[in-house]
Amino acid sequence: MTRTTPPNMLDSGAAMNTALIDYYQAIEKASQDMLEAARTGNWDQVIKLEGACALLIAQLKHTAAGRTLGQDEAQFKSRIMQRILVNDAQIRRLAEPWLDELDELLAGHTKTVH
């Protein structure tokens, strides 16, 4: 008697690769949310989402250990990573004035209004 896998079940390798792609997509979504928060000047939300991204990245690293993606999945991952990098660059551009003000404040160069 042979044992068969139900047709709706993925083998463990395919399921793991799907999980990896899910992590990349979740990181992309968080980076999009960070960009939207940065555009509205909600830096507290940007920082909160940055923490969520860090957690997702740590989970991705753990899940990805010893796994490789197929060619199609690797190309899909590459497109996701490119969008994340574009989001990151835009967030940094928006953050520069805020970071400059923070640097001045920390250096003791406060702006006074009369």
Cα dihedral 18, 19, 20, 22 sign:
positive
Domain coordinates in residue numbering, the chain: 18-106
- Choose among 23, 18, 22: nearest CA to 60: 23
> Average pLDDT for residues 9-27, to the nearest whole number?
74
pLDDT at position 105 is: 79
CATH architecture of the domain with residue range 18-106:
Up-down Bundle (1.20)
For the residues of 25-51, what is the DSSP string, one character each? HHHHHHHHHHHHHHHTT-HHHHHHHHH
Is the model's pLDDT at 10 over the cut of 50? Answer: no
pLDDT at position 108 is: 78
Is the model's pLDDT at 32 over the cut of 80? Answer: yes
